[in-house]
Every structure is written in C-alpha cells, then in structure tokens.
Amino acid sequence: MTKVAIITGAGKGIGKAIASQLVTDGFQVAIADMDYASAVATADELANARAYRVNVADHDAVFQLVDQVVRDFGQLDVMINNAGITKEILLEDMAGDDFQALFDVNVKGVLFGIQAAAAQFKRQGSHGKIINAASIGAYSVAEKHSGYSATKFAVRSLTQGAAKELGADQITVNAYCPGYVETPMMNAILQNYAEQNGTTVEEEIARGSQRIALRRPEKPEDVAQVVSFLASEKADYITGQAIVADGGVIYK
Ligand SMILES: NC(=O)c1ccc[n+]([C@@H]2O[C@H](COP(=O)([O-])OP(=O)(O)OC[C@H]3O[C@@H](n4cnc5c(N)ncnc54)[C@H](O)[C@@H]3O)[C@@H](O)[C@H]2O)c1
C-alpha cells in the first residue's frame, strides 16, 4: 500500500520541499498549514497530495488532522512536525506573549504531533516514523534568537524522550537541524539584517555564506533530502537523533 505522510507547515519553505520530495519517493502526502491558501497551492502543484488547514498549537486540531488524513488516505506512516515560527528579540526585551507564542507553535505543536501520530500508529498496530523540525539553534544559540533556540532545544529533548517512550512500539522519532535555509522565514530575517546594517539582502547572503563551510545558503531541497532518508526504511534503526545538515556551520 502507498505510504502516507503528513507534513505540517508544508504550504511554503522547507515543508513544501519535503512534501515534493516525499511525493517523488512514492508517498501520498497531506499538506497541512495554518495558511490554507498556501497549502492548497502546494497540493495543486503536486500529485498525490491534499491540502488541510491546521494550527499545530491547537491540540484538538492536530488530532482532528490525523483522523481526517486517515479517513482520506486509509492510514498514516510518517508524521513530519515541520511548522515553526521565529522571533528576533533580545532576551531583555522578550515579552511573555512573544515567548509563549514561540513555545505554543514550536514546542506544543511538536508535542501534539507526536501524541496524535503515536496514537494512530498504535491503533494501526504498525511501525511509524515521527520527524521533527529542530535547527542548528537546537545546539548553538545566536543573539536575538535565544527564545527560538530554547524551543528548538526543547524539540531535541522531546525527540529523545519520545524515542525512548515509543521505541517498544517500533515507532522511531528523529529531528532535522537545518542551518540557514532560503525560505520565507529566512528571507524575513535577512530583510531585518539588511535594514539594520544599511545593506542589501544579497550582501547579507554573501556575508552569511562566508560562515558556511560550503559557502552557499542551504536550499529547502537540501533539508528535504535528509528528511527523505529519515522517512525511509534506510533509517529504520535510527531513533532519538537530531541530525545536523547545515553545510558546515556547527560541528557536533
Ligand atoms: N529557514 C531556516 O533557515 C530554518 C533553519 C532551521 C530550522 N528551521 C525550521 O524549519 C521549519 C520550517 O521553516 P521554514 O523556514 O520553511 O519556515 P516558513 O516560515 O518559510 O514556513 C513555515 C510554514 O509553517 C506555517 N505555520 C506557521 N505556524 C503554523 C501553525 N501554528 N500551524 C500550522 N502551520 C503553521 C506557515 O504558514 C508556513 O507555511 C520551522 O520549524 C523552522 O523553525 C528553519
């Protein structure tokens, strides 16, 4: 039977590239995003794809998403908790609401995704794979990104904990840690840097690339290749890992 994957935050950026790669790999994919219009547009571009609206910070909405996908496709094999947000704020300026919003999406979103997928895998009595979006920020903190990094450290911890708790059911749980990826999220950050420094986005990309061993920004497709591997049978014996794929920025 054709395998089924849910990818949250798949209307744009890294999630969209993951969805496209998994279709190439032979999956049927559920493109789930809070921005439903972008989910529909992405699903329209791909074969074997359907669009869903979800706010991953909403526990019931994530469980309903899994139920609906199983009604539509018959099963679930891979859950990719990709949706995330960032906020560039110094810690001393961080309002409680901003901190809460980061944790609501990046951490609770992953928690609810793990819970809903694990419940479905157990109902099916099948092996399953859960793959979470972390970041190089899960290992190393950049100025103004401490709040964001705190959420990604938390994703790494949820990934390890879930791997231990779900391993006996043959459910694997891993995370991917991209570096500087050309997506709408990164573009907004680069625009801020360019405004602050009186430069252009292109100049910021050129300067940032000097900090990357491979001397180029990461493409969403670079991340999708790693997720493709983690979603495949080749990764059956890997669990609890947060795998860095950043072109050489941090070294673990
Ligand atoms: N871009 C990077 O350089 C980079 C680096 C490391 C990690 N990441 C992580 O990769 C993931 C994807 O990042 P991206 O750069 O593609 O981001 P993006 O902002 O370009 O796209 C994110 C998508 O998630 C959706 N989304 C946001 N909040 C949501 C919610 N509450 N519920 C459902 N969908 C929601 C958005 O509508 C959007 O379509 C994130 O978890 C991010 O933290 C990105």
Compute the distance from residue 102 Cα to the ligand 1 centre, in Å.
11
Compute the distance from residue 105 Cα to the ligand 1 centre, in Å.
10
Q: Whose CA is nearest to atom 24 of ligand 1?
A: 9
**Cα–Cα distance measured from residue 114 to residue 163, given in angstroms and rounded to the nearest whole number:** 10
Is 148 annotated as catalytic? yes
Residue of 117, 152, 101, 100 lying closest to 7 (CA atoms): 117
Strand order of the sheet with strand 49-53? Answer: 49-53, 28-33, 4-8, 78-81, 128-133, 171-178, 242-245
What are the tens digits of pLDDT across the range 184-194?
Answer: 999 999 999 99
Is the pLDDT assigned to residue 145 strictly greater than 90?
Answer: yes
Is the pLDDT assigned to residue 246 strictly greater than 90?
Answer: yes
Q: Which amino acid is at 215?
A: R
Task: From the options 1.10.3720.10, 3.40.50.720, 3.60.15.10, 3.20.20.70, give the CATH code of 4-180+219-245.
Answer: 3.40.50.720
Compute the distance from residue 125 Cα to the ligand 1 centre, in Å.
31
What are the tens digits of pLDDT across the range 169-206?
Answer: 999 999 999 999 999 999 999 999 999 999 999 999 99
Angle between helices 109-124 and 146-166 (to 10 degrees): 20
User: Given pLDDT bands bounded at 50, 70 and 90, which one contains residue 252?
Assistant: confident
Question: Of 148, 180, 193, 251, which residue is the catalytic one?
Answer: 148
User: Given pLDDT bands bounded at 50, 70 and 90, which one contains residue 1?
Assistant: confident
State the pTM of this model: 0.98
What are the tens digits of pLDDT across the range 92-104?
Answer: 999 999 999 999 9
Atom of ligand 1 nearest to the CA of 181: 3
Would you kindly state where each structural domain of the chain is located, as residue ranges?
4-180+219-245
Which whole number is the average pLDDT over 135-161? 98
Which whole number is the average pLDDT over 37-56? 98
**Cα–Cα distance measured from residue 175 to residue 132, given in angstroms and rounded to the nearest whole number:** 4
Half-sphere exposure of 207 (CA within 13 A, CB side): 10
User: Given pLDDT bands bounded at 50, 70 and 90, which one contains residue 50?
Assistant: very high
End-to-end C-alpha distance for the chain, whole angstroms: 38
Structure token pair of residue 194: 């360019």
Atom of ligand 1 nearest to the CA of 13: 16
Q: Whose CA is nearest to atom 25 of ligand 1?
A: 9
Residues in contact with ligand 1 (CB, 6 Å cut-off): 8-9, 11-15, 33-35, 38, 54-57, 82-86, 105, 109, 133, 135, 178, 180-181, 183-186
